[in-house]
Structure 1
Amino acid sequence: MRHFFLILIPYLGAFGVQGASEFRICSFNLQHFGESKAKKRDVMDVYAKILSRCDVSLLQEVRDSKQKAMPQLLDQLNKSDLNHEYKAVASERLGRSETYQEQYVFVYRRDRVTVTGQYQYPDNKPGNVDAFSREPFVVRFKAPETAIKEFVLIAQHTSPANVSTELDALYDVMQHVKRMWKTENVMLLGDFNADCSYLSKRSRDKLRLFRDNSLFWLLPEKTDTTVRASTSCAYDRIVVHGDVFSNAVVPFSAKPFDFQTAYQLTEEQALKVSDHYPIEVLLKNNASKVSLSLFLVSLLIFALRCIN
């Protein structure tokens, strides 16, 4: 039996079981990103390193009122990673207070992804219930190299004071987007504040986002997405809708990226970057299904030859 598996090793490589390059989707709360942080070279270097790992990144708490910090970050990212070209698509400036507003920004690799649609949910317009402090921003992507080919990402950063209401309203946004774009391939992601003192288990169990069996919460409940050693909360989340999208996800790939450990930073240095870890998930490569099928056929042929 040992000899049998040793013989199989070349077949594994030959049929791509090990080699396909997965597609990485990330979400990162930058914590008050604007001109002040853009002036800190060490912080910007870490941002560029983190974002260069991802094919698509949702950025939150972008407070770039003069529209200078985000272009600077994008420029640094393109200079630091010459293997890809990065572009960005941003929401409106959102928030109920004129003195505190944020944007959602999706940064993506133009050579691997195409934006095919975007939609700013009009929560604060006449006829809609004003449920959100920062209305969801929705972008449709085409990614031919992935097993799913095309998908929709719904960005949401909930207000800590209104988590249950906003998450329940987010379910309605998802249903609206599915009807509008006639798609089932939807992912919801962002800083949901969906843990610890902001969302009790009793409140969570009443929410449609948790009760709907067609939704898959990819990060385990006990995941810590916070940088501070004194906290352990699963604030940041990734949720996918439907079996097709769920099956396109690399199993157990959803996790926080501990940049503090990866880049050998102290807690103080890491907190200058953000008090959140970025979270991420991998999508299967389009070639992986074909590669696996070819491998299984080859394995069967090989086994029959051994028997004969």
Structure 2
Amino acid sequence: MGRTLLLAALLLAPLLGGATPLRIGAFNAQRLGGGKAARDDVREALGRIIARCDIMVLQEVLDAKGQVVPLLLKALDSTVGPGTYQTLSSPPLGRGSYQERYVYFYRPGRAQLRDWFVYEDAHPERPDVFAREPFVTLFGLPSTALPELVLVPLHAVPGAAEAEIDALHDVYERVRERWGQQDVLFLGDFNAGCSYVAASRWGQIRLRRDPPFHWLLGDDGDSTVRASTRCPYDRVVVAGERSQSLVVPGSARAFNFTARFGLTEEQALAVSDHYPVEVELALDRAWRGPWHPPPALLLLLGLGGALLGLP
């Protein structure tokens, strides 16, 4: 019996394989405009960072002339292949003359963009909380375990971080009303730590306090490039039992591109003063019921057993 199971494993290995986890990231690229993206060193680093992920949300994109996305797509086309990534940009968001965009880069072979909206920041009890309203997206995924996932990025204003993080609870309710979705990933530069959110205040923040939300990065982390600082500004928060069950243990982290790319601190700061945060979802992990091998495979196993003289 043991030898038969071994033969079955050997025959099945090349047929089944393990699905690659879906990696999702968010990166505050620190005042990323056309001039910055035109720098070869910066563009190369950004391309390598984006190419790590199946979906990457860039924040703090200042692209009034529409130069950033074409430059980065050109870099990605030359490194990972033409058409590997598609993009979706939010409208300019912000109060007054200072405007930023959220920009999604995603692999259409791994995630299909289905819908999106800019959150209408008009809650009757908390109007105009967000300086840069979340640009919410719905993606279809190649998984029966998690066929759809909503992404909610946020770049919070430092002085209003507590209120903006709390108001993500209202965004969650809006997502449920609009799409009937409970599997939601909140991610980005929340400015969620150090002097911007005191430890004593976390219990008052609904996104932290209420049961549906699971924080994947702790308060003792660090998403800053400078060696002189240690702050967990950038976070990933997941809601929904299905999506929580698929998180790959240990995959939620800040990606230290300084060390990985062999950069000096000065070189890294030319890219950003933040590290990207990312998480992986094992889309094939959930049990889908008993598996019955097709007759052709049973025949193949029988022939293999006969050739090896197995009972």
TM-score grouping bracket, smaller chain normalisation: 0.7 to 0.9
AA of the residue aligned to 1:259: F
Is 1:63–1:102's contact at 8 Å kept on the other side of the alignment? yes
2:160 matched residue in structure 1: 162
Superposition misfits of 4+ residues, deviation over 6 angstroms: 7-10, 124-128, 291-294
AA of the residue aligned to 2:24: I
AA of the residue aligned to 2:157: S
| Residue 29, structure 1, aligned to residue 28, structure 2 | yes
Q: Displacement of 1:18 after TM fit? A: 7.9
Written as runs of structure 1 = structure 2, the 5 A alignment for 1:84-233 is: 85-98=84-97, 100-123=98-121, 129-145=127-143, 147-233=145-231
| Residue 73, structure 1, aligned to residue 72, structure 2 | yes
1:298 matched residue in structure 2: none
Counterpart Cα distance in 1 of 2:230 and 2:6? 43
| Alignment gaps of 5+ in structure 1 | 295-308
Q: Displacement of 1:67 after TM fit? A: 0.7
Number of equivalenced pairs: 287
1:300 matched residue in structure 2: none
1:263 matched residue in structure 2: 261
Counterpart Cα distance in 1 of 2:109 and 2:178? 27
Q: TM-score, normalised by structure 2?
A: 0.85
Written as runs of structure 1 = structure 2, the 5 A alignment for 1:43-58 is: 43-58=42-57
| Residue 274, structure 1, aligned to residue 272, structure 2 | yes
Q: Displacement of 1:11 after TM fit? A: 4.4
Is 2:76–2:82's contact at 8 Å kept on the other side of the alignment? no
Q: Displacement of 1:63 after TM fit? A: 0.3
Counterpart Cα distance in 2 of 1:10 and 1:262? 40
Q: Deviations over 1:68-90 (max 9, x none)?
A: 12221122112210286111111
Q: Deviations over 1:161-215 (max 9, x none)?
A: 1111111111111111111111111111110000000000112221111111111
1:96 is paired with a residue of what secondary structure?
coil
AA of the residue aligned to 1:263: F
Is 2:57–2:153's contact at 8 Å kept on the other side of the alignment? yes
2:248 matched residue in structure 1: 250
Q: Displacement of 1:127 after TM fit? A: 9.7
2:236 pairs with 238, 254, 269, which one?
238
Q: TM-score, normalised by structure 1?
A: 0.86
Q: Displacement of 1:110 after TM fit? A: 1.5
Counterpart Cα distance in 1 of 2:135 and 2:210? 22
Larger-Rg structure: 2
Distance 1:85 1:240, change over 3 A: same
Distance 1:121 1:49, change over 3 A: same
Distance 1:94 1:83, change over 3 A: closer
Q: Displacement of 1:252 after TM fit? A: 1.9
2:95 is paired with a residue of what secondary structure?
strand
AA of the residue aligned to 2:21: E
AA of the residue aligned to 2:31: H
2:100 is paired with a residue of what secondary structure?
strand
Q: Displacement of 1:290 after TM fit? A: 5.7
Distance 1:18 1:222, change over 3 A: farther
Counterpart Cα distance in 1 of 2:251 and 2:268? 23
Q: Deviations over 1:80-103 (max 9, x none)?
A: 1028611111111011121x2100
* Same amino acid, percent of matched pairs: 43
Q: Displacement of 1:223 after TM fit? A: 1.4
Distance 1:124 1:53, change over 3 A: same
Q: Deviations over 1:220-248 (max 9, x none)?
A: 22111111101111100111112111002
Counterpart Cα distance in 2 of 1:61 and 1:143? 27
Is 1:23–1:146's contact at 8 Å kept on the other side of the alignment? no
Distance 1:276 1:9, change over 3 A: farther
Distance 1:206 1:227, change over 3 A: same
Is 2:38–2:71's contact at 8 Å kept on the other side of the alignment? no
Counterpart Cα distance in 2 of 1:274 and 1:233? 15
